[in-house]
Each structure stands twice: as C-alpha cells, then as structure tokens.
Amino acid sequence: MRRRWWQRTRQEPPVAQAVADVPGGGAEACDRLLTLLAELDAAGDEERGRAAVQLLATAPEAVVAVDHHAKRSHVSAIYLQIMAERTGPIPVALSVRAVARLGGAGPDRFAALLRDPAAAVVRDAATALRPFTGRLPDRLPWDLLTDGRPEVRRAGYRLLNGGPPLVRLRAALTLAIDPVPDLARRGHADATYLARAATDAWARRRLDGELTPTAAERADLDLLAARAAERLGERTSGLLREWLSR
C-alpha cells in the first residue's frame, strides 16, 4: 500500500543503514555496540554498559548506534557515563546533545564541560545550558567571556546573549574588542543593533526587555563603550554616547 507523505516523513532511518553509512572500520564497532545495547536491554547488566562506554572510547563513530537507541532506558545512563569519564571529544559532544534532548541531566552536568579541552564539547555544553541560564552562578558566563580560549569566550557570550538587553549590550561591548576577528564582528554587530534600539523608539519595541540602566550600569557601559570605540566605529559609538548622555 502506498504511504501518504506525512507517514513517509515520520519514518526513522533504519539502524542498519545508519551503521552501514559509518566510514572505515566504524561499521564493525557499531555492530558490536548494537549487540551490547540489545544485551543491556535484556539483562540490565552494568558490565555491558561499561563495555559500551569503553567501546566508544576506541571507536567514537559508533555513537551513531547509541543515538538510534536514545529512547531506551539504559542509554541515557551510558551517555551520562561518557560525559563523566570524558571518553573522548566526539562521543562526549554527541552525548551532551543526546542528554540535553532527553532531559536526562541538570545544568551542573553541562557546566562542568564548559572548559573541556575539545571545542565541540564546549560548544554543545553551552547550547545545552541555554535553557538553564537562570540557574547558573551569576559570574560564570562573565568569567567564560574573558577566558584565554576563543571557544570558551564564545560559549560565555552565547549564555549571556539570551539575557536582558542591558546584559546583552555589556557582553557585546566586551566581545567587540576580542582579538579573534569573527568574535569581534559578532560583538560589533550586536552592539550596533542594541545601540540603535536604545536611541530609536520603533526599534526598541522589538526588544524583549528594557534598556534603562541605573547610574552604576550607565557608568560601566560608558567605560566599555569608550574602550571599544575604535572597533565600533563613529556611527555606533555616537549612538551610544547620545543614549548614555541622556
């Protein structure tokens, strides 16, 4: 019988096909992992769970097999174990995504990975933490934003950029003087957008929050804007001066 279009689009790709698509010797590792997962489902054996984690340490591409079993009761525990043991950058990054999707961990688990040596892990940990920014220590994102590693600074900015407009502006002005050009450009663009919103009533209506700084916040923003003036250019700097002098 011919399937309707909505039935076809909801079909999951077969695990066997996913395994076959893994390059090199990864397919064999996937097959072994699928066997371990099937045995784990049948017996709930902790030893098999550890064997699955150890297999992923040597064949990270096999994580595709885990992902196709992400709704199984034991798989979330495997992902969490991979994250805790820092099994390797590829499986840890993929595990962070899976645990975030499954809702299998609180923010502390992800926050512990924000300074991981692997940039992919840092990126995915920051993505997983965005819904939890209100539960993070206040100083954490700001400390990340001044870290020595660009990927950590990027993670800090992502966490701050979902906050109120004044927080976003302060973060953007800080990022605008970043030594990494693409980070500096992002800070410049966001600072320009917020400066226009601060001085234009129509643009301000699109903001989710108020741009009404206290005296202390105004002094802080004035200092940050002066430091970033050369990078921001005369137009954006002029808008900020106009707003902050009101």
- Tell me: the pLDDT tens digits for 63-108? 555 555 544 555 666 667 777 766 666 667 777 777 777 676 778 8
| Cβ–Cβ < 8 Å for 86, 77 | no
DSSP 72: S
Supply 202's token pair. 């129509």
Write down the domain spans for the chain. Answer: 14-105, 161-246
Cα(80)–Cα(83) distance, rounded to whole angstroms? 5
| Cβ–Cβ < 8 Å for 56, 82 | yes
Residue type, 50: R
**In angstroms, what is the C-alpha Rg of the chain?**
23
Cα(221)–Cα(240) distance, rounded to whole angstroms? 9
Which comes out higher in pLDDT, residue 102 or 194?
194
| Cβ–Cβ < 8 Å for 45, 39 | yes
- Tell me: the pLDDT tens digits for 32-46? 665 666 565 455 555
pLDDT band at 20 (very low <50, low <70, confident <90, very high): very low
Which comes out higher in pLDDT, residue 76 or 185?
185
- Tell me: the pLDDT tens digits for 203-214? 677 777 777 888
DSSP H helices, 146-180, are: 150-160, 165-175
Supply 58's token pair. 């040597």
